[in-house]
Amino acid sequence: MKSFSLCHFFLFLFHFAVFALANTELIYFDAQEVPNPEIQFQHTWPTLDAYTSSIRWGLGANPPNTTDIADDPQPCSNVFSWTPTRSAQGCLRELWVILDLDCEPWKKYNNFTLRISWPASYPVEAHVRVFEPSALTHLSTPGPPRRYKTRSASSMTRQKYGRIQLVSTVVWTPEAQAIEEFLKTLDAVPIIITLEPLLLGILEASQLPTVIAVVLALILGFFIARLVISHLEDVVTLRSQPKETARID
């Protein structure tokens, strides 16, 4: 139990060191098989998988008064018209990504994390949600062209969809410049989106080398400490022995 807690402590220090100059938002989710409808409008969306698990993007921020909208657990009804270069009409500025969990290297993992990182110099907060395919096939305003069709009942998938939205956290005052002008500086907040499996359900795969290095350092430090302590004990023992006075025959 002590070693487990110690590893988590060093894992926390690693997170702190890596993201000290960046903000991070992450979400954990399970990969479960669900019916696999063919959603045709998502063919232009960026994809994260075992071969491309991280991408960089410039995402515009939404005004501060849109936090409640960003927390909406349902996708915007016009998401079918969203593309990487154009926001959907009537929707917030957002990024949609395909989370391909069906690729062969990731089939053995059941737990994943979707992580968003951006420079701390940008005053925004991230809102991240993961959706099942069914959330996109039940849009409130279907219409031509047909946006999805149901595949055979035996077709199953673990694929999911991630939605990332940024909202400005600037506290607005009458003395400040117009909010529209300020938001121009947040038109392309540089973000990094990373999808990773969780080893043993708790550890991100990219952190495994760091954890191994920490464990090896602890083992090496333990043996070095034992040698140092043993040497100091010998020194103390020698100094504590009374000196013998020389005899003159």
Token duo for residue 105:
């290297």
H-helix segments, 72-173: 134-137
Instruction: List the one residue out of 106, 126, 105 whose CA is nearest residue 116.
Output: 126
Q: What is the pLDDT of residue 169?
A: 85
Indicate the angle between helix axes 2-18 and 208-240, nearest 10 degrees.
Answer: 120
Distance CA 13, CA 83 (A): 38
Q: What is the pLDDT of residue 140?
A: 47
Domain ranges of the chain: 24-206
Instruction: List the one residue out of 50, 40, 181 whose CA is nearest residue 106.
Output: 50
Q: What is the pLDDT of residue 243?
A: 58
CB contact at 8 A, 31 and 111: yes
Distance CA 192, CA 195 (A): 10
pLDDT tens sequence for the chain (249 residues): 344 454 545 455 555 444 455 799 999 999 989 988 878 788 889 999 999 999 999 999 988 888 777 778 889 888 888 888 888 888 999 999 999 999 999 998 999 999 999 998 888 999 999 999 988 886 644 444 445 455 554 588 999 999 999 998 877 665 555 555 565 667 789 999 999 998 765 656 666 566 666 777 777 777 787 777 876 776 777 777 665 554 545
Q: What is the pLDDT of residue 4?
A: 45
Q: What is the pLDDT of residue 141?
A: 46
Q: What is the pLDDT of residue 189?
A: 92
Instruction: List the one residue out of 159, 118, 138, 192 whose CA is nearest residue 29.
Output: 159
Distance CA 24, CA 26 (A): 7
Distance CA 41, CA 46 (A): 12
Q: What is the pLDDT of residue 154?
A: 53
CB contact at 8 A, 39 and 136: yes
Q: What is the pLDDT of residue 195?
A: 95
Rama region for 201: left / alpha / beta (φ>0; ψ in -120 to 50; rest):
left
Q: What is the pLDDT of residue 151?
A: 53
According to DSSP, residue 49 is labeled -
According to DSSP, residue 183 is labeled H
Q: What is the pLDDT of residue 58?
A: 93
